[in-house]
Amino acid sequence: MEILAMLMVVLVPLALGVRKVLESVAYRTRARGKAEVIRAERGLAPSRRERPGRADG
Per residue in 2-47, pLDDT (tens digit) is: 999 999 999 999 999 999 999 999 999 999 999 999 988 888 766 6
Phi and psi angles of residue 43, each rounded to the nearest 5 degrees, phi first: 75, 25
Looking at residue 29, its pLDDT comes to: 96
Q: How many CA atoms lie within 13 A of 18 on its CB side?
A: 6
- Please indicate, yes or no, whether the overall pTM of this predicted structure exceeds 0.85: no
Contact between 48 and 54 (Cβ < 8 Å)? yes
pLDDT at 34: 95
